[in-house]
Amino acid sequence: MLIRVINPNTTASMTAAIGRAASLLSGPGVTVEAVTPGSGPASIESHYDEALAVPGVLDEIIAGDAAGADGYVIACFGDPGLLAARELARGPVVGIAEAAMRTATYLGRSFSVVTTLAQTIGRAKDLALQFGVADACAGYHAIDVAVLRLESDPTTYRRLLDGCRTALETDGSDVVVLGCAGFAPLAPNLGDDLGVPVVDGVTAGVAAVRGLIDLGMTTSRALEFAPPPAKTYTGDLARFTR
Amino acid sequence: MLIRVINPNTTASMTAAIGRAASLLSGPGVTVEAVTPGSGPASIESHYDEALAVPGVLDEIIAGDAAGADGYVIACFGDPGLLAARELARGPVVGIAEAAMRTATYLGRSFSVVTTLAQTIGRAKDLALQFGVADACAGYHAIDVAVLRLESDPTTYRRLLDGCRTALETDGSDVVVLGCAGFAPLAPNLGDDLGVPVVDGVTAGVAAVRGLIDLGMTTSRALEFAPPPAKTYTGDLARFTR
Amino acid sequence: MLIRVINPNTTASMTAAIGRAASLLSGPGVTVEAVTPGSGPASIESHYDEALAVPGVLDEIIAGDAAGADGYVIACFGDPGLLAARELARGPVVGIAEAAMRTATYLGRSFSVVTTLAQTIGRAKDLALQFGVADACAGYHAIDVAVLRLESDPTTYRRLLDGCRTALETDGSDVVVLGCAGFAPLAPNLGDDLGVPVVDGVTAGVAAVRGLIDLGMTTSRALEFAPPPAKTYTGDLARFTR
Amino acid sequence: MLIRVINPNTTASMTAAIGRAASLLSGPGVTVEAVTPGSGPASIESHYDEALAVPGVLDEIIAGDAAGADGYVIACFGDPGLLAARELARGPVVGIAEAAMRTATYLGRSFSVVTTLAQTIGRAKDLALQFGVADACAGYHAIDVAVLRLESDPTTYRRLLDGCRTALETDGSDVVVLGCAGFAPLAPNLGDDLGVPVVDGVTAGVAAVRGLIDLGMTTSRALEFAPPPAKTYTGDLARFTR
Amino acid sequence: MLIRVINPNTTASMTAAIGRAASLLSGPGVTVEAVTPGSGPASIESHYDEALAVPGVLDEIIAGDAAGADGYVIACFGDPGLLAARELARGPVVGIAEAAMRTATYLGRSFSVVTTLAQTIGRAKDLALQFGVADACAGYHAIDVAVLRLESDPTTYRRLLDGCRTALETDGSDVVVLGCAGFAPLAPNLGDDLGVPVVDGVTAGVAAVRGLIDLGMTTSRALEFAPPPAKTYTGDLARFTR
Amino acid sequence: MLIRVINPNTTASMTAAIGRAASLLSGPGVTVEAVTPGSGPASIESHYDEALAVPGVLDEIIAGDAAGADGYVIACFGDPGLLAARELARGPVVGIAEAAMRTATYLGRSFSVVTTLAQTIGRAKDLALQFGVADACAGYHAIDVAVLRLESDPTTYRRLLDGCRTALETDGSDVVVLGCAGFAPLAPNLGDDLGVPVVDGVTAGVAAVRGLIDLGMTTSRALEFAPPPAKTYTGDLARFTR
């Protein structure tokens, strides 16, 4: 099976890091590829970025279906374009916020979300509510590192580790959910250092999609997620005409 | 004051109809203008359309701020780009789903949403949940008329009237919320024929924004709705670089 | 249009202050008058006061309808008699807790209520739940100043400002809702000093009622808010016989 | 112990019927007395009636405390004045809606409320929400008999029985809650005829108050339910000055 | 009437203490007996203990029905086997978590649960959710004393008193709910020392069951709580074959 | 990896059928074994059966850990003993209700649960609430076939198909969740005949556990799910002493 992991931002080095993390689940019969959209923001740190990342994500769904992808992971913690992608894609689509938060519910009483910038917490709350996991989320915490500095900043790991410790203690939670795809490479070490499950949505998302594909399941076409009606698009979005 | 009503789809005749309805609130000191984006879908009937309408909406926010707009109404019942627009705009921004549903809560025990196509109901449910009015919404109903046929189809009014009657009876509700900007011109007659309040989000949205402007209030800049961080955009979205 | 703002307590100087604040929204075609009931408590600081303020509020609704009022604001943060007033009044009726909390939801992620005495917080919680905004309210805070001392106590503004700062920081909220009609005159300065929206229910309530009147809307008469059935009243409430 | 059951309306024959039903729980050491206020509505069938019943209820609390009452039941399904009464009374105070709905939760999965007039259902919903039992209530049903006709109308029992059957079947519930104190005398026969628990709030309320008194417990005085602050009352409510 | 209080653990001295506390409600016509199961854990401090206490509890229900018991209290704060016992028993069955939390809702705005070990808090949360009182519970606190050391440890009372004080202050609550049957003997002194209602589930449970019996009510047999279908049991549970 | 699927009832033919369904996910590196407890009910159709199945489930967890199992699925839709098993087992444990309901949330707007007997619906509701998916579940339906007759009754498939169709139409849902492990073999055909995703918890549970094992994750040991404290057990449960 072919699973396409879409990095909704346009920073190729971040796509590469996401791809390396995602490859944990690849193996005989399971190919995982990470891709970068041709348009959109360099990183996603606001509702504005989130919304404007969607056309690029949908481009990659269309291209993926043409390339025979069996399922998709949208690898930004705001799950940009998730529901639109579900209408469009032949196979199942999972967002990493969705996958991380749902996976965490198998592992403990409640989880804390630890993310990059405080400005993104509102989006995480909206998603938790929409996914029905708001009660399981004990708190949201930011470490105040910009997404594109995560790799280069030598203090990232230490700040993230401290942020997780503070979150667990403040919230009385027993699981950590990482609130940014850029944290994916750090998850295993964090789990070891913290002694609690640390869920990264990229790997959790690939595991979820792989499971759905193996179960032979995809998005229901019965009602809301039927294919989008034929429609004329104008301007620089004209390529989305169906 | 200048209130800009943004029709998120690209059909100019619909913008004109919305503008006529919205002019109910214009008067001395209050100018209401309706605008059409330069890119996007001809109508919005799926998550796909909803998501791809956002760049055009944000273009109109940017243009509106440059033109001195004091506040905005996003005139599609899916409120596309609402939170991104709030980060961006100098003045307050209100979506018509938000305005209609909140306004309805002043008028009765519970309301029924009556919309065009069943495929759009999921989006309305997500918004009701996000706005905290899910418990006040007694049901969602579709009349199965496509958005662009609303004006030309001679049966539209009758089907909408019947749909409202069915909704009120099925749901035991006492207020109707119209689930499409294209219904705006029909609201007054519907109210007369049904004998209950019929809330159209276009006019309710203009009233809400006018009130906020008169109160001297706009979106909080303290946390989540601070201006979006500077960011490089690539591809055909490069104009959104900040 | 004529909007009647009812101060549910019997302290005329407070009515005058409320009237001055409410006049922000008066102008050509919009007359706002503040009135004091003929019976009831000097101020409202308990469920007991809240409940016993209702007959006076309803007297003012009856008198207002006779005088041609087009809509009403009930200017105590406990919204005493709101639902009864809706059954009775010809035009729309809005409570200031309702208006302030709903208005705040247009302006940020979550709001903090800052009020006079801790004993009144329970009522605010009940209202937030009833209005569907409980999840948007991040916290309730009291500054421990009695209602009738607000004007005379020289420390009121400072304590209120400090209370708002503490609330915003403790709750992680981005909007303040003032929990007493007596705070109305202080709202503009507070907004300037805090740098976040500070919503006063008196002005927000007048804006909401004005909007409903301009939309031609009033309470649904279909079910729950039909006029009260004819009924004999005895004792000193005999005047309420219908 | 002395338990005072307050009929919030002023119809003495209804007080007598309530008293007979309540006497089920009287016995050695337990005296139950039913009282009628000196002012208020002849029956309670709207928010207007509900609100205007409160002064009479509070009069009876004050008189009851003077007469040595150990606890109170407020015997109207709208629980008028419940929270104010709790501030005021020395002993515990229970409303019959509260008692009936809480008692029902010990007896099955979910209950249906069957009441007199549809106009009162909104109040029942607000109370269910406030008491935390909204999810346990499967539905609300009215039999369309006015309160004061319950005793004289020969079809009352049959209509109530039919209403309960319809409610149980429509809602898939396994317990009935009677939504009017006037139904109290009919509860035992209804239970026999329906074969499910039929909870009447008058008897359930007396049982609840008796239990609290035997446990030596009354309303917490720590915060919200501290005695009402001293306050001047004017007009025909001047007797409530404290 | 005969009320059987079942201590779900097998420690007889704890049963005796529970029985002494429960006898507060015994008197003319009311016999309260406390019993110990023949199998199960010495104390209950985990989901594992909770689950494995159930066969012993059900043994005591079967024996109690044979002995003519009119109702039951399950005296562990995890309410082990409550729903199964309801299917089985002829009379009403109440758990002490259920009874304590519901009773607390009559007495104040919100309550704090104070229990023995932090590991048991998750179970209390699940029960609060299931009983519809999650919103009324302001917090959960553990004093870190093992159940079987409660009686022997001379610091128990002091730690519990301190734990309650911390809980009330941290949570802003006005009622305490004791989270372990072993705390029952300490409740009266705690109430005196704290000045707020302190609800012990053992006595609250007996009061609740007594009330239901006096009302002539037991679990609905209509749907979910019909008697368990006939079934073959194997292994050392063969005695449960019906 | 070794995944142990525990059939909580003692009917070996049902274990065999569950094992055949579960083998869909077995393959290179993944061994799935289905086991039957040595004690317990022949089938599970009540709270009584559910509770008494737990000791047998825990026996199989203990045996599985000794045999090197890497993770567990509890294959009854009541998820008996799930939280206790999580405390006990070295690897992750998933219940089939939990897995089916969470998996369904990836596939559509809302799901309908279709189960065997109406008496089991209450348990499903409690689980949906506990797992945070109550809002995503649009309805619960029973086909009135006893668990042990599922295989032998020639009408089972037809009744189940009809039940699913009724559920989808009544509930307006777009996904089916099968509410009994005994339905597992029928899921693929049902999905084909209905044209919507039909989620069977046995296979969904194996997929979920496989994912967690591949992610290197197991239950958090930090707080609630720490290993159960050492404890003496008496009677025929003495083997559970730790």
User: pLDDT digits over C160-212, tens only?
Assistant: 999 999 999 999 999 999 999 999 999 999 999 999 999 999 999 999 999 99
* Burial per residue of C73-92, b for 16 or more beta-carbon CB atoms within 10 angstroms, e otherwise: bbbbbbbbbbbbbbbbbbbb
User: Do the beta carbons of residue F115 and residue F179 sit within 8 Å?
Assistant: yes
Q: What type of residue sits at position A34?
A: A
pLDDT, tens digit (0-9, with 9 covering 90-100), for B175-215? 999 999 999 999 999 999 999 999 999 999 999 999 999 99
* F210–A211 CB contact, under 8 Å: yes
CB-based contacts of A169, cutoff 8 Å, min separation 6: none
**Residue D38 to residue D9: CA distance in whole angstroms:** 9
* F28–A28 CB contact, under 8 Å: yes
**Nearest-CA neighbor of D72 among D37, D36, D34?**
D34
Number of residues written out for chain D: 242
Dihedral angle sign, alpha carbons of residues F183, F189, F193, F196: positive
Subunits touching E (CB < 8 Å, at least 3 pairs)? Answer: D, F
Mutation for B interface: A48, A126, A219, most B CBs within 10 A: A48
User: What token pair was written down for E91?
Assistant: 């009379």
User: What token pair was written down for A142?
Assistant: 């930011």
Please state at what angle helix F201-214 crosses helix A201-214, rounded to 10 degrees: 140
Dihedral angle sign, alpha carbons of residues C10, C13, C18, C24: positive
* C218–B136 CB contact, under 8 Å: no
Of C42, C47, C119, the CB nearest to D84: C47
**Token pair 């705690």: residue:** E190
CA distances from C42 to C180, D31, E49, E58, E225 (A): 14, 38, 58, 59, 54
Query: Which pLDDT does position C55 carry in this prediction?
Result: 98
Cβ contacts (< 8 Å) between C49 and chain D: which residues? 228-229, 231
User: Do the beta carbons of residue D151 and residue D17 sit within 8 Å?
Assistant: yes
List, as one string, the DSSP characters of A4-22: EEE-SS--HHHHHHHHHHH
**Residue C206 to residue B215: CA distance in whole angstroms:** 10
Beta partners for residue D233, in sequence order: C41
User: Do the beta carbons of residue B202 and residue B180 sit within 8 Å?
Assistant: no
**Residue E14 to residue E150: CA distance in whole angstroms:** 10
Q: Is residue E147 very low, low, confident or very high in pLDDT (cuts 50, 70, 90)?
A: confident
**Residue E68 to residue E63: CA distance in whole angstroms:** 9
**Which positions of chain C have pLDDT values less than 70?**
none
Cβ contacts (< 8 Å) between D201 and chain E: which residues? none
**Residue C150 to residue C145: CA distance in whole angstroms:** 7
Dihedral angle sign, alpha carbons of residues F85, F86, F87, F88: positive
Query: Which pLDDT does position D147 carry in this prediction?
Result: 87
Number of residues written out for chain C: 242
Please state at what angle helix E121-131 crosses helix E96-104, rounded to 10 degrees: 60
C-alpha angle E67/E70/E75, rounded to 5°?
90
CB atoms within 10 A of CB B156: 18
- DSSP assigned state of D78: T
User: Do the beta carbons of residue E108 and residue E133 sit within 8 Å?
Assistant: no
Helix (H) or strand (E) holding C233: strand C233-234
* F219–A107 CB contact, under 8 Å: yes
**Percentage of chain E exceeding pLDDT 90:** 96
**Residue E226 scores a pLDDT above 90:** yes
User: What token pair was written down for D29?
Assistant: 């050491």
Of E106, E188, E218, the CB nearest to D92: E106
Cβ contacts (< 8 Å) between B233 and chain A: which residues? 10, 39-42, 52
**Percentage of chain F exceeding pLDDT 70:** 100
pLDDT, tens digit (0-9, with 9 covering 90-100), for E37-61? 999 999 999 999 999 999 999 999 9
HEC secondary structure over B152-173? CCCCHHHHHHHHHHHHHHHHCC
* E231–F51 CB contact, under 8 Å: no
User: Of the ranges A232-241, B144-153, C51-60, which one carries the lowest mean pLDDT score?
Assistant: B144-153
Mean pLDDT of D191-218: 98
* C174–B92 CB contact, under 8 Å: no
* ipTM score assigned to the predicted complex: 0.97
Dihedral angle sign, alpha carbons of residues F50, F53, F59, F65: negative
* F215–A103 CB contact, under 8 Å: yes
Strands D175-178 and E2-6, how do they pair?
A: unpaired
**Residue E125 to residue E95: CA distance in whole angstroms:** 15
pLDDT, tens digit (0-9, with 9 covering 90-100), for F152-167? 889 999 999 999 999 9
Using CB atoms within 10 Å of the CB of residue C28, give its burial: 0 to 12 exposed, 13 to 18 middle, 19+ buried: exposed
**Residue F179 to residue F71: CA distance in whole angstroms:** 22
- DSSP assigned state of A38: S
Mutation for D interface: C15, C43, C52, C239, most D CBs within 10 A: C52
**Residue E151 scores a pLDDT above 90:** no
**Nearest-CA neighbor of E73 among E93, E91, E54, E58?**
E93
C-alpha angle C133/C138/C140, rounded to 5°?
95
Residue A13 backbone zone (phi > 0: left; psi -120 to 50: alpha; other: beta): alpha
pLDDT, tens digit (0-9, with 9 covering 90-100), for F65-105? 999 999 999 999 999 999 999 999 999 999 999 999 999 99
**Residue F8 to residue F57: CA distance in whole angstroms:** 6
HEC secondary structure over D31-54? EEEEECCCCEECCCCCHHHHHHCH
C-alpha angle C198/C200/C204, rounded to 5°?
115
**Residue E213 to residue E190: CA distance in whole angstroms:** 29
Residue C235 backbone zone (phi > 0: left; psi -120 to 50: alpha; other: beta): left
- Our CA-based measurement puts residue C122 at a distance from the nearest CA of chain D, in whole angstroms, of 6
pLDDT, tens digit (0-9, with 9 covering 90-100), for F5-56? 999 999 999 999 999 999 999 988 999 999 999 999 999 999 999 999 999 9
User: What token pair was written down for C61?
Assistant: 């609704």
Of F132, F168, F174, the CB nearest to A135: F132
Query: Which pLDDT does position D150 carry in this prediction?
Result: 85
Query: Which pLDDT does position C147 carry in this prediction?
Result: 87
Query: Which pLDDT does position A147 carry in this prediction?
Result: 87
User: What token pair was written down for B186?
Assistant: 């029909």
Number of residues written out for chain B: 242
CB atoms within 10 A of CB C194: 18
Look over chain E and give the mean of its residue pLDDT values, rounded to a whole number.
Answer: 97
CA distances from F82 to E95, F49, F74, F88 (A): 21, 15, 7, 10
3-state secondary structure of A149: helix
Subunits touching D (CB < 8 Å, at least 3 pairs)? Answer: C, E
- DSSP assigned state of E30: B
**Residue D231 to residue D226: CA distance in whole angstroms:** 14
User: Do the beta carbons of residue D170 and residue D32 sit within 8 Å?
Assistant: no
Mutation for A interface: B237, B239, B240, B241, most A CBs within 10 A: B237
Helix (H) or strand (E) holding D202: helix D201-214
pLDDT, tens digit (0-9, with 9 covering 90-100), for A39-94? 999 999 999 999 999 999 999 999 999 999 999 999 999 999 999 999 999 999 99
**Residue D205 to residue E211: CA distance in whole angstroms:** 10
**Token pair 């938060």: residue:** A101
Mutation for B interface: C220, C221, C224, C225, most B CBs within 10 A: C220
Cβ contacts (< 8 Å) between B205 and chain C: which residues? none
* F102–A102 CB contact, under 8 Å: yes
**Residue E115 to residue E47: CA distance in whole angstroms:** 15
User: What token pair was written down for B136?
Assistant: 């006040």
Closest-approach residue (CA) in chain E for F41: E233
Of D107, D136, D208, the CB nearest to E220: D107
Mean pLDDT of D104-125: 97
**Residue A136 to residue E20: CA distance in whole angstroms:** 39
* A224–F109 CB contact, under 8 Å: yes
- Our CA-based measurement puts residue C235 at a distance from the nearest CA of chain B, in whole angstroms, of 32
**Token pair 């039903």: residue:** D21
Of F133, F188, F207, the CB nearest to A211: F207
Phi and psi at residue D180, in whole multiples of 5°?
-160, 135
**Token pair 């409510």: residue:** D237
Query: Which pLDDT does position C7 carry in this prediction?
Result: 98
List, as one string, the DSSP characters of F58-78: HHHHHHHHHTT--EEEE-STT
**Residue C18 to residue C12: CA distance in whole angstroms:** 10
**Nearest-CA neighbor of B121 among B190, B177, B37?**
B177
**Residue B58 scores a pLDDT above 90:** yes
User: What token pair was written down for E224?
Assistant: 């979910």
User: Do the beta carbons of residue F175 and residue A220 sit within 8 Å?
Assistant: yes
CB-based contacts of E65, cutoff 8 Å, min separation 6: E88, E89, E90
Residue A88 backbone zone (phi > 0: left; psi -120 to 50: alpha; other: beta): alpha
- Our CA-based measurement puts residue A108 at a distance from the nearest CA of chain F, in whole angstroms, of 6
Of D108, D208, D210, the CB nearest to E220: D108
**Residue B36 to residue F102: CA distance in whole angstroms:** 41
